[in-house]
């Protein structure tokens, strides 16, 4: 791992300058809790565009981690000594990248980069990695783990959401191998959909934290999957539950964000799901109450004080996830186009540190950066 970091660090300067029209300035001294008056908006610049050269650098991160078994953080409930197995034995597909959900979105990163850049330098290696991981036999073992009586809440709903995002990406990839990979993954995808259908009606209150269990995030990715695959049952349930949870919300306390370990914005994730499930006639009055004058606000990026700390580096994630929420909103509603500059500011704060980062961030942050670049 150390040698990989040495190699990757040589590319930091190049990586920081690969986007058109985007500056990369850090504001370490700025308060990350301060809302700035509208007249101090960052300048309007174009949304960053991923180049082949930078994609060739980014793909190194998931290729490095998806087969890196240790260090590993298992989220496991033991029922006996027989459960004390290695990560690879427990999760033959998603055992790398430090934890199960990071392994899932590491695989998603490979699919997304291959889909957008089939000419990647390491494309054949990436394809071999996917074909090695996502086999029918290995996915059957992943399903068996989820069906353990002790694992009913395993990866609920963060890992569930990323699994469906991976399934969605395979489904929308016009590539012969993608169809076989999607079919291999299907039993686990179906199980996760069923878990959503069973869980959401029982969830009386949404979870509004800035970490894994955030309800709005889990709903948003699952809704994308439902739309892509035409799953009306899941789509309708998510719309209904989102309206139950959030329709009466107003005055979201943006000045409380971010908390010390956040990698999601509770306020912006809520906007992200509501813009998807509501019609314009429903969304516009709702968002005016939720964050008044949203088109005029700005906020500082989350400040990372130590990127070798696995929790503090979460704030790079909050910058990327804020960016994808803001990009998605601006794409759907042109009146919020000025928020692209704010999204760029967040993206640019964290992106130059991505390649060559410690494994604490490197095992997962590439996925967040890629998601920000292709948010919709």
pLDDT digits (tens, 9 = 90+) for 47-95: 899 999 999 999 999 999 999 999 999 999 999 999 999 999 999 999 9
> What is the domain partition of the chain in residue ranges?
2-373
Give dist(CA 231, CA 272) in Å, integer.
20
Residue 31's closest CA among 252, 257, 188? 257
Is residue 188 within 8 Å of 200, Cβ to Cβ? no
Is residue 356 within 8 Å of 9, Cβ to Cβ? yes
- Is the bond preceding residue 157 a cis peptide, omega within 30 degrees? yes
Q: How many CA atoms lie within 13 A of 189 on its CB side?
A: 23
**3-class DSSP assignment, residue 244:** helix
**3-class DSSP assignment, residue 35:** strand
Q: Measure Cα distances from 287 to 120, 220, 254 in Å.
A: 41, 16, 13
| Residue-by-residue pLDDT tens, the chain, 376 positions | 433 443 344 344 434 444 433 333 333 333 333 333 333 444 555 789 999 999 999 999 999 999 999 999 999 999 999 999 999 999 999 999 999 999 999 999 999 999 999 999 999 999 999 999 999 999 999 999 999 999 999 999 999 999 999 999 999 999 999 999 999 999 999 999 999 999 999 999 999 999 999 999 999 999 999 999 999 999 999 999 999 999 999 999 999 999 999 999 999 999 999 999 999 999 999 999 999 999 888 899 999 999 999 999 999 999 999 999 999 999 999 999 999 999 999 999 999 988 777 888 889 999 999 999 999 8
Return all residues near 46 (Cβ < 8 A) that are at least 6 apart: 20, 21, 22, 340
Q: Measure Cα distances from 249 to 45, 146, 239, 291, 292 in Å.
A: 32, 34, 15, 10, 12
- Is the bond preceding residue 5 a cis peptide, omega within 30 degrees? no
Helices (H), the chain: 2-9, 12-15, 52-58, 60-65, 87-90, 100-116, 123-133, 136-146, 158-171, 176-199, 215-229, 232-246, 266-277, 280-290, 314-332, 339-350, 359-362, 365-373
pLDDT digits (tens, 9 = 90+) for 18-33: 443 333 333 333 333 3
């Amino acid at each position: 791992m150390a040698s990989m970091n040495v190699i990757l660090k040589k590319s930091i300067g190049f990586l920081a300058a690969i986007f058109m029209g985007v500056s990369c300035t850090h504001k370490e001294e700025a308060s990350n809790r301060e809302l700035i008056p509208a007249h101090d908006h960052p300048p309007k610049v174009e949304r960053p565009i991923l180049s082949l050269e930078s994609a060739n650098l980014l793909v190194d991160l998931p290729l490095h981690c998806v087969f890196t078994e240790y260090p590993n953080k298992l989220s496991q409930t033991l029922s006996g000594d027989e459960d004390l197995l290695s990560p690879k034995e427990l999760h033959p597909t998603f055992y790398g990248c430090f934890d199960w959900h990071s392994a899932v979105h590491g695989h998603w990163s490979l699919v997304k980069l291959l889909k957008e850049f089939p000419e990647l330098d390491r494309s054949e290696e990436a394809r071999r990695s996917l074909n090695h991981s996502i086999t029918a036999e290995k996915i059957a073992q992943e399903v068996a783990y989820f069906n353990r009586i002790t694992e009913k809440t395993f990866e609920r709903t963060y890992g569930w959401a990323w699994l469906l995002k991976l399934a969605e990406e395979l489904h929308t990839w016009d590539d012969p191998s993608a169809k076989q990979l999607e079919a291999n993954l299907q039993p686990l995808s179906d199980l996760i959909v069923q878990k959503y259908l069973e869980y959401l009606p029982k969830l009386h209150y949404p979870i509004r934290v800035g970490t894994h269990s955030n309800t709005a995030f889990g709903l948003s990715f699952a809704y994308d999957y439902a739309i892509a695959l035409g799953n009306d049952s899941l789509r309708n349930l998510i719309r209904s539950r989102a309206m139950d949870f959030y329709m009466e919300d107003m005055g979201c306390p943006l000045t409380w964000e971010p908390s010390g370990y956040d990698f999601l914005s509770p306020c912006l994730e809520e906007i992200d799901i509501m813009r998807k499930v509501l019609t314009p006639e429903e969304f516009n009055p709702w968002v005016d109450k939720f964050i008044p004058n949203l088109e005029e606000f700005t906020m500082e990026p989350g400040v990372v004080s130590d990127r070798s700390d696995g929790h503090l580096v979460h704030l790079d994630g909050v910058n990327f996830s804020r960016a994808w929420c803001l990009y998605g909103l601006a794409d759907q509603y042109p009146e919020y186009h000025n928020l692209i500059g704010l999204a760029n500011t967040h993206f640019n704060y964290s992106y130059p540190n991505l390649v060559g980062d410690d494994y604490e961030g490197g095992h997962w942050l590439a996925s967040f950066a890629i998601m920000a670049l292709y948010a919709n």
